[in-house]
Structure 1
Amino acid sequence: MTSTTLPRGDLRSPAPGAGPERSWWWDSAYLLAAFPLAVTSFSVLVTGVAASAGLLVTLLGVPLGVLTLLAARWFAVAQRWGLRAAGHDAPEPPYAPLRLGTLRGWVEPLREGQLWRDLLHGLVSSPLATVTWSVLVTWWAGALGGLTYPLWVWAVPQDGETLFELLGLPTALEQVAYVLLGALFAVSLPVVSRGLATAHAALGRTLLTGQGAAELQRRLRQVSASRDSAVQAEASAMRRLERDLHDGPQQRLVRLTMDLSAAQRRLESDPETAKPLVAEALAQTREALGELRALSRGIAPPILTDRGLPAALAAVASRCTVPVDLDVRLAEGERLPAHVESGAYFVVTEALTNVAKHSGATAARVRVDRSGGWLRIVVEDDGHGGAHAAKGHGLAGLVERTAALEGGLDVDSPPGGPTVLRAVLPCG
């Protein structure tokens, strides 16, 4: 059994550093504390950045800049602690150890990306904290003030007409209306608190945890791996094409040339003996044309371009020496991106070729359907099993081809069979 990773739903366990689920009270407490912390960090960091920039012409600019970055790190630690206390995911990113006892140790923090992201968070979190603190205080004031309105309204001097009197509404409804308004604020307060805290958590995950940079690095590695797989798949395809041309049409064309040369020499002196040579040359020509057509179907089958994936797979299934049950569940006339159709075509073609040549199967089944943004391909056979997708085996090229398309391939082929090949290709 050989398998490679298939894209699946996110089954990850909570990240290390994710806080326990807390109630909205913790969100409110975090938001109230985040405002003074953000204002303080903004004031300290702006002062540090301005002072270090102004002193860059002297030797004091660099160490002052390093101290500013370290102050940003301290504020980031406090912010992450607050987010975790409120139940949000805020793991500690890795920091390089500080070695401030040497000149080089004072320069190294300037090259650490996470410290600069901490600094950026300290600068941009202040406007966000100001807005979220103001909204939260408004909601708390509306909830508490409205619900307790009948208890304190008597102490408010009534120097003029109330809002209800100005609108011509019965003043008896005033207390009821304010209590209902307070109830509305109170009911929506948990949602508002959670939403405001989530905004802080999103900013924190992007800048304070290194997850944004880690995701970018992961994506770059994935793109690089896909590019390498595409190059390897293309090189393998070219080598295979060269081998097929050498072993097939090229040999037949050489034989054709020899037969025609022999027939040309005998044509005038002994026409009767030349006839079999001409007939043999004609047979070699037909066989060479058949092999060239087969190779062209492996490079760029016209039916795939003209009629789409279902028709192309039907043609592949009809040519297979093993009976194939084909089930393509795509909408009538639906066309997928050209590279996806080509990738799916080659996956099915190579899989059925492997079934016909090596599996000893008496029947095969091909299922193709689209689910969300993925095209799913399943090829099954009742053969003796033992298929592998590792390097050096016939299905290795499919792993490279699907990886180049940012998809995945899985082969389940225990000894004795059956063999099930599953592939997914992104098509969203």
Structure 2
Amino acid sequence: MDLMTTDVDRRPRFNARLGRELAYLLTNLPLGIIGFVVTVALLALGIGTAVTFVGIWVLAGALFAVRGGAVVERARARALLGEAPPEPLPVQSARSGPLNRALAVLGDGMAWRGALYFVVMLPWGIITFTFALVSMIVLFPALPWIARGLSQVDRLLVNGLLAPGGLTERVRELEDDRGTVVDSAAADLRRIERDLHDGAQARLVALAMDLGLAKEKLTEDPEAAAQMVAGAHSEVKLALQELRDLARGIHPAVLTDRGLDAALSSVASRCPLPGGVRLGVDLPERPASAIEGIAYFTVSELLTNAAKHAQARSAQVEIWRADDRLMLQVRDDGIGGATELPGGGLAGLADRIRAVDGVFVVSSPVGGPTVVTVELPWRTRTQQLDKRN
């Protein structure tokens, strides 16, 4: 019964939907004229002056105008045709500056598809306006069917030329994610450089100076020289510990040698939560090293957040494989209220995970508990080696 009702509802007939479709068909002509004149005039001017520097800006301005007009057309389709074409991502340039942004617009496929749409809309607008008007006067009984057929073509034009394709949007998302990863890597390099400069390097410089003074005092005051050597020995231990901590922050050796279970066991044992960390790792084999590294640093940072900010007493970490995904979940009994604030630690984690086609979900009501669930693509080490070869 429901299926029959749905089929009847979809049949063309005299109703409010017909009125909206007629409004769309009749407004195609005036909007088509405006869009055609503006698009063709600006593009012709830009192409005609393309040999000069001004032509670049005219073309870029024309395509900016086209993208603006496309926003209006998508809104009209949503309001009158019931379509839901997604909005494309804004044009982004790999480099900053007005000229680079203008060049990015010139290479934007959505802008050129929009220009084609407005060129096509003039002749199509004449057709739809004429048929709709004649049908309202002469072919009134057939009006619902004529309006439905014409509006179906409009739907195809909007979805085909003004809506971003799934592959196009995916490529754009990957480009944005790549930029995020590059920025994160640059920030990590700056952090490593700062830690080396302010930590181990400073200690080693002080150590070299102390040893030089001890050498000078070796014959004059052996006892003082021995004390200075003893102090230098302590500084060496501290410098080595800082270097170990730094190396662990880059990529711990235990992760490379023994995998996630052993590496996260070490992290859990060092976590300063009063109730400790319960760890469960159920993996039939080891994933690719890049996925292992992301999982390791995600758990490490989430446990650090639980200890420093959530006022948690205990935490639980679970890692398992589900089909072609590596799943991990970190739960703590802290105060909750954790959110992905721009520029915050959780947002940085989410960006890194989504950059490799992963999923990052936070559930943290005020009062707790906080549960972070992460999905990462499962890639085996064999697949990684085959890709490299």
Amino acid at match of 2:260: L
CA distance in 2 between partners of 1:287 and 1:351 (Å): 27
Question: Which of 269, 272, 277 matches 2:220?
Answer: 269
Structure 2 unaligned residues grouped into runs of 5+: 12-81, 87-111, 121-154, 380-389
Q: Tell me how far 1:292 sits from its aligned partner.
A: 0.9
Does residue 319 in structure 1 map to residue 323 in structure 2?
no
Aligned length: 243
Question: What's the counterpart of residue 239 of structure 2?
Answer: 288
Question: What's the counterpart of residue 423 of structure 1?
Answer: 374
Check whether the contact 2:320–2:328 (CA below 8 A) recurs between aligned residues: yes
- Residue 21 to residue 220, structure 1, CA distance change in 2 (3 Å): farther
- Residue 326 to residue 422, structure 1, CA distance change in 2 (3 Å): same
What secondary structure does 1:417 align onto?
A: coil
Q: Tell me how far 1:91 sits from its aligned partner.
A: 6.3
Q: Spell out the pairing of 1:18-417 with structure 2 (5 A cutoff).
A: 112=116, 209=160, 214-322=165-273, 323-331=276-284, 334-417=285-368
What secondary structure does 1:370 align onto?
A: strand
Check whether the contact 2:336–2:365 (CA below 8 A) recurs between aligned residues: yes
- Residue 409 to residue 110, structure 1, CA distance change in 2 (3 Å): closer
Check whether the contact 2:117–2:157 (CA below 8 A) recurs between aligned residues: no
What secondary structure does 1:268 align onto?
A: helix
Deviation by residue 1:70-92 (Cα, 9 ceiling, x = unmatched): xxxxxxxxxxxxxxxxxxxx969
What secondary structure does 1:359 align onto?
A: coil
CA distance in 2 between partners of 1:355 and 1:388 (Å): 13
Amino acid at match of 1:112: L
CA distance in 1 between partners of 2:202 and 2:309 (Å): 25
Deviation by residue 1:345-369 (Cα, 9 ceiling, x = unmatched): 1101111222233333221111112
CA distance in 1 between partners of 2:5 and 2:254 (Å): 57
- Residue 341 to residue 270, structure 1, CA distance change in 2 (3 Å): same
What secondary structure does 2:165 align onto?
A: helix
Check whether the contact 1:93–1:209 (CA below 8 A) recurs between aligned residues: no
- Residue 231 to residue 320, structure 1, CA distance change in 2 (3 Å): same
- Residue 92 to residue 267, structure 1, CA distance change in 2 (3 Å): closer
CA distance in 1 between partners of 2:251 and 2:331 (Å): 25
- Residue 261 to residue 314, structure 1, CA distance change in 2 (3 Å): same
Provide the TM-score with structure 1 as the length reference.
0.50
Deviation by residue 1:161-220 (Cα, 9 ceiling, x = unmatched): xxxxxxxxxxxxxxxxxxxxxxxxxxxxxxxxxxxxxxxxxxx99998569961122111
CA distance in 1 between partners of 2:286 and 2:352 (Å): 20
CA distance in 2 between partners of 1:206 and 1:344 (Å): 44
- Residue 311 to residue 267, structure 1, CA distance change in 2 (3 Å): same
- Measured on the aligned residues, the alpha-carbon RMSD in Å equals 3.5
